[in-house]
Structure 1
Amino acid sequence: MVTELAILTALPGGADELGRAIAAGVPHLRRHPDCRSVSVSRCLEEPGRFTVSVDWTSVEAHEQGFRSSPLFERWIGSIAGLFDPATLDTRHYEPYPA
């Protein structure tokens, strides 16, 4: 399992709208068979910043499976135009023994 962590920053004045759009789009992520869980967080210091954390079965399941599916288009469509694409940061993480 891998965790995709995406950080999105709302356009000026659009923090609440982006938050609602992310929440409305989460069901599209959850419908994909390789999605194991999704959580969304809002930054306390910068309320226009959100993290979307998605557990996928693999990086390939996310990048090739989900991103080539109609669910991806619905997810992106729900948040398009509400965040600054220049600040988008999406990375994949794996468990680390600690």
Structure 2
Amino acid sequence: MIVEYIRYELKTHEPHELVEAYRLAAPHFEAAPQCLGYEMSHCVEAPSSLTLRILWTSTEDHLQAFRKGPHFPPFLAAIRPFIGEIAEMRHYAPTDVAWTRTEG
């Protein structure tokens, strides 16, 4: 599994516009077998900064299978207005340093 982080620094759009664009784009992630999950967060200290975290089966599956497959064109159409506001877009491999509190 690979984690892609896309960090947006919005200058010409409002945060709610980006969130809504990803709501429209989300079904295309969900339909793609290469995508294992996603989450968007906004920075509390700087609300015009948002980060999208996407779990992919692999970097190659993302770049080759998803981007060259049928789900990418409609996904791209939904988020295209925001591409110029991407500050960072990279793939990361998780390490074994992790912990999550579970209730119970």
TM-score when normalising by structure 2: 0.81
For structure 1, which segment, 62-71 or 87-96, has the greater mean C-alpha deviation from structure 2 after superposition?
A: 87-96
Q: Distance in 2 between matches of 1:30 and 1:55?
A: 11
Bigger Rg, structure 1 or 2 = 2
2:48 is aligned with what amino acid?
A: G
Query: Aligned residue pairs: how many?
Result: 97
Q: Distance in 1 between matches of 2:7 and 2:87?
A: 6
Deviation readout 1:25-84 (Å, 9 max, x if unpaired): 112112101111111111112212221111111110000011111211111111111x25
Identify the residue that residue 102 of structure 2 maps to in structure 1.
none
Q: Distance in 1 between matches of 2:54 and 2:34?
A: 10
Contact 2:6 2:86 in 1 (8 A): no
Identify the residue that residue 73 of structure 1 maps to in structure 2.
73
Identify the residue that residue 48 of structure 1 maps to in structure 2.
48
Identify the residue that residue 94 of structure 2 maps to in structure 1.
95
TM-score when normalising by structure 1: 0.85
CA RMSD of aligned residues (A): 1.7
For structure 1, which segment, 11-20 or 88-97, has the greater mean C-alpha deviation from structure 2 after superposition?
A: 11-20
Q: Distance in 1 between matches of 2:66 and 2:38?
A: 14
Percent identical: 31
